[in-house]
Structure 1
C-alpha cells in the first residue's frame, strides 16, 4: 500500500518549477507517491516527470477532471471524441512518467448538470472507456472512475451507481475510485460503500468534509478505514485538499474554494500523512482484540 498526496496541496502550476515544488513537498512530508493532476496532458513532459520523480525516490499516479468541451458522456459524438483524444494523451503521459494509474472524473465533465444523463450519453462514455481501457492496459496503466457528488457529475454519485456503470462499460481494466469527501455527501455511511465496491475499488482519496485538516470535520474516517481493512485493500490512498493560497484564482473558483482552511502546505501535508498512517495502524490493532 502506498500513501500519497495530491499535487495541488503544494502548487497550482506544473511546469518544471512547480513539479519540483510538488515532488519535494511530497518527499518532505513522508508520502510514498505524488498524484499529478493532468490539467493539460499535452503540456506535460512525461519523461521529465519520470526523471524528477526518480531523483527523489517518489512514485506517482495521475488524475484529471474533464470539462464540457471534452465531455465523454456528451450526446455529441464530436465532443465525446475530443474527450477520448485528451484521455489517450493522458494515458500516454502516465506511462511515460512511469505511473500505473489514471483516475478522476474521466467519464463525464466535472460540472453541475441540469438534467439527468441520457442513455445515449452514458453509452458514448462507456464505449469510449472500453477503447481507452484497451490502450491503458497495453501501456500498463489502470483506469479508475472517481465517484463524485451530484454537483460534479450526473453519471454515478455512489459506489453502487459506479458499479452499475462499470457493468455498462464491461472492461476489467476500469475500476472504482472512492473519495471520502464525496462519500460524506452522497452515501448512507462510510463502511458499506467500501464493502460494496469490493475488488473493484482500486483507488482512494482521503478528504475532510470541508477540505481542510483531517479529523476536524464530519467525515467518519474510523468506519471508512475499517472498511478498507475488512476488504484487504492495498491500493493507493491519497490525501486531497485545496486552498487558494496555493492554486490559482480560476482553479479556486472551479473547485468552489470560497474560504481557506489552511495556508501552510507543509504543515497540512505532514499532518495528513500522520493521520492516515495512524488510522491504518489503528484498524490493524483490531485483530489483536
Structure 2
C-alpha cells in the first residue's frame, strides 16, 4: 500500500511555486502525490516529474472532462471526437509526468445533467469510448481509473455497483475503478460492503472525510474501510482528497462554503497518521 495526497487542496495547476508543499509532504512521509491535470503541456509536466523524482515522490493523476462539448457519452460525433482529443492530451501529459495511474470522473462531463437517468445509448457510447481510451492508456503504460461520484455531481455512475457493472462491460485491462469514501458515504446504503462490489476492478482509493475536511475528524468509518480493503487484498494507492477555500473557483465547484479545517498542515499530517496507523491495525 502507498499513501498519497491530492494537490487540489492548494491548486488546480501545480507550478514551481508549489514545490515547497511537495517537500513538506515528502517530509511528512508520503509515498507520492496526486497531480491535477486540468491545463498545461507535456513539457510542463515533464519538468514537474523531474522535481518529483528529485524528491523521491511517486505520482498519480486526477483529471476530468470539464465541458459538454467533450462529453464522452454525448450524442454528437463532435463530442466523441473532442473527448478523445482531451483524453489523449491527459494521457500525453500524464506520461510526461511519469504517472501510471490516471483517475477521476472520466466517464462523463462533471456537473452536467440530462434531467433523466442514463440511457442505454449513453452507456453504449461510453463503453465504446473507454475501450478506445483503454487502448490509448495501454500504449503509454497507464491505467485509467474511473470514479463513481455522487448524484449531485453526476448522473451516469453513482455507486460501486453501477461502476463495477460498467467496467465489466468495458472489459479492458487498462480501465479500472476507484473507491472514494466521500462519495460512498453519500450514495451507498452500506459503504463498507461496497468495497467488495468494486473489488474485481479496484485500482485506486480516495480517502475523504464526509465533509471533505481532515480525515478522521468526521464520521466516515476508516477503521472498517481499511479492514474491508485488506479483506479484498487491495495493495495500491490510498490517496487523501480534501478541499478548502483557498481558490474561489475550486471552492465553488466543490461546494466548500465554510472552513472545514484550521490548517492544511492538519489535513496532511493527521491524515497521514490516520492511514498509516489505521492500515497497520486493520
Q: Settle same-fold status: TM greater than 0.5.
A: yes
Q: In structure 1, list runs of 5 or more residues that go unmatched.
A: 284-289
Which moves more between the two structures, 204-213 or 76-85? 76-85
Cα deviation for residue 112 of structure 1 reads 4.8
Query: If the length of structure 2 is used for normalisation, what is the TM-score?
Result: 0.94
How far apart are residue 190 of structure 1 and its match? 2.5
Aligned match of 2:203: 202
In the TM superposition, what whole-angstrom CA distance separates every residue of 1:36-89 from its partner, at most 9, and x where no partner exists?
011125476221011110111100000112122321111122123212211111
CA contact (8 A) 1:112 1:151 kept: no
Displacement after TM superposition at 1:227 (Å): 0.6
Matches of residues 145-224 of structure 1 in structure 2 within 5 Å? 145-224=146-225
Deviates more, 1:228-237 or 1:40-49: 40-49
**Residues 13 and 36 of structure 2 are in contact (CA less than 8 Å); yes or no, is this contact kept in structure 1?**
no
State the TM-score, normalized to the length of structure 1: 0.92
Distance, in Å, in 2 between the alignment partners of 1:41 and 1:85 is 14
Shift of 1:186: 0.6
The CA distance in 2 between the partners of 1:189 and 1:10, in whole Å, is 31
In structure 1, what is the equivalent of residue 229 of structure 2?
228
Change in 2 beyond 3 A, CA 1:12/1:133: closer
Check the 8 A contact 1:2/1:32 in 2, yes or no.
yes
Paired positions, count: 280
Worse overlay, 35-44 or 60-69: 35-44
Query: Take 2:11 and 2:38, find their aligned partners in 1: how far apart are those partners?
Result: 13
In structure 1, the residue matched to 2:272 is 273
